[in-house]
Amino acid sequence: MIEAALPFPNFDPVLIHIWGPIGIRWYALSYIAGLLLGWWYVVRLIRDKSLWTAPIFGGKPPMTPDDVGDFVVWATLGVIVGGRLGWDLFYGTFLCGVSPGATFCHLPDGASLPGAFISEPWRLVAAWKGGMSFHGGLIGVITALWLFTRGRKIDFARFGDLVACAAPIGLFFGRIANFINGELWGKPTDVPWAMVFPDAPDRLPRHPSQLYEAGMEGLLLFLIMLVCLRVFRLHERPGLLGAIFLTGYGTFRFIAEIFREPDTPFIGWFSLGMAFSIPMWLGALYLYWYALRPRTVSAES
């Protein structure tokens, strides 16, 4: 194993220290940047009249800029509540139940998961003592989208397609924040761009897998969604862009897991992150069927 060819920049996870443990963290700013830029991007799309000329849209987008602005509040709640409860369920409960020896199952104050969730329920919301789950956040946003569109009488698939186009923006900033925090590092390697992460216990050069994910789940998936929208105009088949997003993220996350150090052993080399790609692909299959099924005139009106 060679020494790391690239030094880890060793950022301070806290951008601005305010008082004691209170401060502005890069990770929080990544959520804010993803939501605000996603909001701006979706509004820009619905104001582009060239995207809504197909008969299915009747010459106008399926929602207004005000609808998008209001949904940002719902999406924020979906990300935070879903992301935290998803971590509690998928990692703190299920994975710690399967592999109780995992490091993150034993908290610094001596408590162990999942038992601590029962004895001290406040830990369910204590994100500072656990983490956030992307898949939980995704479920939270989908739930928020369903409730919001149902209340506003907006087509769920059409609005969801635009949200899917903006989602890689948040994914990109989130993975960059993971890199800044020096967390979720990759497996040991001797590639020239390997890095030694300060919190890795063995101090071995590792894949900067956070950057791999930022490139695949963020930049590359954003470009794929952009081409599908503007070149192939796949939004004219509602649900198809959502299917492509689920396919793309599930595939890129599966690939990234090959290089990423798993949280704990799951089934041999098959990590929990890989397993989570399967329901995403199944959801994509349903959306492909929904988008490409033969439609009657009344179904498109």
* 201-249 pLDDT per residue, tens: 888 999 999 999 999 999 999 999 999 999 999 999 999 999 999 999 9
Identity of the highest mean pLDDT range in 2-11, 89-98, 152-161, 194-203: 152-161
User: Hey, how many other C-beta atoms are within 10 angstroms of the C-beta on 68?
Assistant: 24
Tell me the three state secondary structure of residue 270. strand
CB 212 within 8 A of CB 259: yes
The length of the chain is 301
CB 227 within 8 A of CB 244: no
Sheet strands (E) in the chain: 14-19, 22-25
* 173-202 pLDDT per residue, tens: 999 999 999 999 999 999 999 999 988 888
Query: Which residue shows structure tokens 């401060």?
Result: 23
* Beta bridge mates, 186: 260
pLDDT above 90 for 47: yes
- In the chain, where are the structural domains located? 1-61+156-301, 63-154
Q: What is the pLDDT of residue 93?
A: 93
* 246-300 pLDDT per residue, tens: 999 999 999 999 999 987 778 888 999 999 999 999 999 999 999 999 976 544 4
Q: What is the pLDDT of residue 299?
A: 45
